[in-house]
Amino acid sequence: MPLPATALAELATIAARYPQARSGLLPMLHLVQASEGRITPEGIEACAEILGISAAEVSGVATFYTMYKRKPVGDYHVGVCTNTLCAVMGGDVIFERLKDHLDVGNDETTADGKITLEHVECNAACDYAPVMMVNWEFMDNMTPQSATQLVDDLREGNEVRSTRGPKICTWREAERVLAGFNDGLADEGPAAGPASLVGLEIARERGWTAPESGRRTAELAPPSSPEAAAEEADTSRAESETKVDESPADTKHVDNPAKGDEAK
Ligand code: FES
């Protein structure tokens, strides 16, 4: 079925955002999913025509990235992280429980069309393992019980919020956001939760700081001449000889502050 005229106009709008129109292909494919519920052959043709590239090129991109779906996705895409940390913290158990509870396999949709279940790779949220995603919103610190309650609420139409705040919308609405159409909710919820900030707190307590950017830049800059390179090598050698002369016990000031603490 051809895409609606509004979707075609929005695809052209996305392409026009980029100096090179084909750079808009990824968000355009998200918009096809928002409109059609999956990547359709007609959606591929429409993108190709607007961008002036072949359907094979569009298809190559759409089949490469796992966020593009060729089968219809349910109202809610539920991802369970089964990468190493989440897996050992309970992700594998959650995924198995949900497969049983929903009576679906990986990348399958429930008979009522509500939930598509998929195991997903690390979401860079390991400090909240085991983590799930609903339409790419985080659900942190999940358990088999909270996971089954989550999918039951989604199927029953109850309001569900990410553990980080935002209200869960439908998969198609989320795809529209990924296509670059702002839903005004980008700032809902915290940018980073307490577990992600523990390292920063420790660094502040102990006065740890990053190297000065100017010094680092100078260190990384190549010598301006062979003479400068020789002088730099002499200085570096002298510095390392000085360090060797220092007492072995004086190891408080080292690159790795943790080692300094051990020495205290
Ligand atoms: S392993 Fe699951 S978020 Fe990193």
**pLDDT bracket for residue 182 (50, 70, 90):** confident
> Can you name the residues that pair with 161 across neighbouring β-strands?
167
What is the C-alpha separation between 115 and 105, in angstroms, rounded?
11
Query: Which of 261, 162, 245, 152 shows the shortest CA–CA distance to 208?
Result: 261
To test ligand 1's pocket by mutation, which of 123, 141, 164 has the most ligand atoms within 8 angstroms of CB? 123
Instruction: Report CA Rg, the chain.
Output: 26
Which carries the bigger pLDDT value, residue 77 or residue 236?
77
d(CA 167, CA 154): 12
* pTM of this structure: 0.76
Residue-averaged pLDDT of the chain: 86
Higher pLDDT, 185 or 110: 110
In whole angstroms, what is the distance from residue 120 CA to residue 66 CA?
Answer: 9
Residue 77 has pLDDT above 50, yes or no: yes
Task: Judge if the beta carbon of residue 123 lies within 6 A of ligand 1.
Answer: yes
How many A from CA of 82 to the centre of ligand 1?
7
Closest ligand 1 atom to Cα of 91:
2
pLDDT average, residue stretch 8-18: 97
Contact 94, 130 (CB under 8 A): yes
Among the ranges 86-90, 181-185, 209-213, which has the highest mean pLDDT value? 86-90
Q: Are 73 and 171 in contact (CB under 8 A)?
A: yes
What tens digit of pLDDT does each residue of 93-113 get? Answer: 999 999 999 999 999 999 999
pLDDT, one tens digit per residue, over 123-151 is 999 999 999 999 999 999 999 999 999 99
